[in-house]
Amino acid sequence: MPLTNLNDEERLFRDTVRRFAKEQMGPFVREMDEAATLNKSLLKQLFDLGLMGIEIPVEYGGQGGNFFQCVLAIEEISAVDPSVGVVVDVQNTIVNNAIVRWGTEAQKSRYLPRLSTDIVGAYALSEAGSGSDAFALSTVADDRDDHFALNGRKLWISNAAEAGLFVLFANANPAAGYRGITAFLVEPGFPGFRVGRKEDKLGLRASSTCELILDNCLVPRENVLGEVGKGYKVAIETLNEGRIGIGAQLVGLAQGALGHAIRYSKQRKQFGQPISSFQGVQFDLARMATELEAARLLVYNAARLRDAGLPFLKEAAMAKYFASEAAEKIASKAIEIHGGVGITKDCPAEKLWRDSKIGRIYEGTSNIQLLTIAKKLLA
């Protein structure tokens, strides 16, 4: 992989994560996919390595790193298993960041040390009737002075089965529309909260995706994240960053698929020679590598802009859009290069292709990304 835009510290960090992913995660990938369960020992290692609290300040038990390091970690982990990449991505780019930016001192002191060391976070925005139209959510929060009573259902919540904390959105004033949306920090032990059915998914199977059921769920007032009625701002700002993280996940996935294709093309012989000697295969690999590098540059650029405090909305949308399209194409072509074995469970490219499909859908569909890009161009 090229050392695009990496300094010595970043390269060392990337290489450390890469070794962990290959040596510690690699042996469990197929088992986790078939069981649709995240290996708990790997989860502990993610915490032990500091990969679940990369940007959390040192004073709260985190690594005090930057967003670009989050991107590198997500990319390298996803090259081996994008399911684990989702866990690291959600934790760092949307849960931790939301609390660091919007949390009170009491909230930061209570939750950030745990998120750095032993609890998984989840981000609960989506519902049956609110996907791309994220603010059409129907979950309501009834203000009862010292606490709120939340009622509704959340769907497609990543990390839900493992999570010890949810950044959850509900409307505290439905008459005000999206201006009533409020973000809450919800613990799974709160009365009236329950994790419901786990989805049986095509891909990313080791990453849990569940519904949440809120039946008069009692949330203390001090667990409002930000201000009442300002949840839409929390959601917008965190999801803009999350799109870069998803882009990194898909770049890693594509890197993994390309690597498998290259190795197989050198091993597989037809007509007395490796198929890598045929120009048609060489051209396929060249196109795959070019699209991958373009996607990587878009993701790295968006992450660098974010770290520099510069506008990055358009660049984040471009990165997520292009990386999702490229990852699916590269994984699909990797299957074709493997030939008949490519559609069997013995072929790692088969899993990566299944994992790639969600890229065009979650954290903003490809059409939503195109709409965002066009609006910025025409502003």
Helix (H) or strand (E) holding 157: strand 147-158
Pairing of strands 273-274, 269-270: antiparallel
φ/ψ of residue 331, rounded to 5: -65, -40
DSSP 169-217: EEES-GGGGGGGEEEEEE-TTSTTEEEEEEP--SS-TTS-EEEEEEEEE
Among candidate residues 92, 81, 155, 149, the one with its CA nearest the CA of residue 121: 92
Pairing of strands 163-171, 181-186: antiparallel
Cα(52)–Cα(39) distance, rounded to whole angstroms?
15
CA angle 238, 201, 165 (to 5 degrees): 40
Among candidate residues 86, 75, 96, 71, the one with its CA nearest the CA of residue 21: 75
Tell me if 319 sits within 8 A of 250, measured CB to CB.
Answer: no
In whole angstroms, how large is the CA radius of gyration of the chain? 21
Tell me if 224 sits within 8 A of 169, measured CB to CB.
Answer: no
Secondary structure class of 270 (helix, strand, coil): strand
Cα(10)–Cα(23) distance, rounded to whole angstroms?
20
φ/ψ of residue 129, rounded to 5: -105, 5
Cα(330)–Cα(256) distance, rounded to whole angstroms?
10
Tell me if 102 sits within 8 A of 126, measured CB to CB.
Answer: no
Which residues lie below 8 Å from residue 145, measured CB to CB, with a gap of 6+? Answer: 221
Tell me if 112 sits within 8 A of 54, measured CB to CB.
Answer: no
Catalytic entry in 75, 162, 350, 363: 363
Cα(369)–Cα(85) distance, rounded to whole angstroms?
21
Catalytic residue flag (residue 363): yes
Question: Which positions are annotated as active-site residues?
Answer: 363
